[in-house]
Amino acid sequence: MEDKLQQLKQHLMEVEDLERTSNVLAWDQATYMPPGGNAARARQMALMDRLAHEKLTSAPVGKLLDELQPYAESLPYDADDASLIRLARRHFERAIKVPAAFIARQAEHHAMLYDLWARARPANDFAAVQPHLQTSLDLSRQYADYFPGYAHIADPLIDRNDEGMRTETVRAIFADLRAALMPLVQAIQAKGPVETRFLRQHYPEAVQWQFGRAVIEYYGYDFARGRQDKTHHPFMIKFSGDDVRITTRFDEHDLGDGLFSTLHEAGHALYEQNMPPHFEGLPLNTGTSAGIHESQSRLWENIVGRSRGFWDFFYPNLQAYFPDQLNGVPMEAFYAAINEVKPSLIRVDADEVTYNLHVMLRFDLELQLLEGTLEIKDLPEAWNARYESDLGVTPPDDRDGVLQDVHWYTETVGGNFQGYTLGNLFSAQFYEAALATYPEIPGEIAVGKFGLLRYWLTNNIYRHGSKFTADELVQRVTGGPLRVAPLVNYLREKYSALYDLDLN
Give catalytic residue positions: 265
- Chain residues in the site for Zn ion (CB under 5 A): 297
Name the residue among 46, 41, 85, 157 with its Cα closest to residue 415. Answer: 157
Closest distance between Zn ion and the C-beta of residue 463, in Å? 21
Q: 462, 450 in Cβ contact below 8 A?
A: no
Residue closer to Zn ion by CB (options 301, 398) is 301
Q: How far apart are CA 35 and CA 212, in angstroms?
A: 29
Q: Name the closest residue to Zn ion (Cβ).
A: 297
Q: 21, 52 in Cβ contact below 8 A?
A: no
For 61-92, the DSSP string reads: HHHHHHHHHHHHHHS-TTSHHHHHHHHHHHHH
Closest distance between Zn ion and the C-beta of residue 13, in Å? 27
Instruction: Output DSSP code: residue 388.
Output: I
Burial of 335 (0-12, 13-18, 19+ CB in 10 A): middle
Residue closer to Zn ion by CB (options 65, 357) is 357
Residue closer to Zn ion by CB (options 292, 357) is 292
Residue closer to Zn ion by CB (options 29, 297) is 297
Closest distance between Zn ion and the C-beta of residue 265, in Å? 7
Phi-psi region of 323 (alpha: psi -120 to 50; beta: other; left: phi over 0): alpha
Residue closer to Zn ion by CB (options 12, 275) is 275
Closest distance between Zn ion and the C-beta of residue 268, in Å? 6
First CA to last CA distance, the chain: 63
Q: 212, 301 in Cβ contact below 8 A?
A: no
Question: Torsions phi, psi of 492, nearest 5?
Answer: -65, -45
Residue closer to Zn ion by CB (options 57, 297) is 297
Q: How far apart are CA 130 and CA 88, in angstroms?
A: 37
